[in-house]
Amino acid sequence: MRITKANDETEMKTELTRDDILDMDAYNAVRDERRPAILETKRKRRLQVGPHATFYFECFDTMWYQIQEMLRIEKGGEEQLADELEAYSPLVPKGDELVATVMFEIPDADLRARILGGLGGVEETITMDIGDETIAAEAEQDVDRTSAAGKASSVQFVHFKLTPSQIAAFTSPDTRVMVGINHSNYGHMAILSDELKEELARDFAG
């Protein structure tokens, strides 16, 4: 999200604070109006990689919506809000990165357990190719998302940190951008569409 300043310049918001969060009465009053736009944003920022992994590239708006919905469902008040801000504000892009929630969406419980049981360390095998350059994803360090038994969590959070030259290449229409998972038990890749590239370019400052 970019906010308009008094001189008509815009500034991208790179963190969520208490002041950004609406109380429940105020949120419920605008939820039906704002929800379709947020869901459309989430749709435009989605990338399927292989049969089971979906990347949801996050932004200020998606994380704001996540927190508001969690508060609406769980009704934990200020104590919960502090925890939600601590968990989700780090997933708002900081102007030189892309941030994704990676979900292994496998409806069948037995199949899910079997696949995740063989995907330990998958968060360390995620990459983004921008033209001829490869960027290794950095896993969010909030908790260890591979168990001691080698089972991967079905939800991973990763950061792709870009240099200025990589950002310039990413935003060029001529550059092919591809996300890959290079795990020995899950080797898949997907090319970003022009629509997705254009949407994600909004996450870069400047």
* pLDDT score for 144: 60
pLDDT at 80: 95
What per-residue confidence (pLDDT) applies to 206?
Answer: 63
Predicted pLDDT at 2? 40
Q: Which of 101, 100, 94, 127 is nearest to 204 (CA)?
A: 94
The confidence score (pLDDT) of residue 8 equals 41
**pLDDT less than 70: residues of the chain:** 1-11, 142-145, 148-149, 206
- Measured in degrees and rounded to the nearest 5, phi and psi for residue 175 equal -90, 130
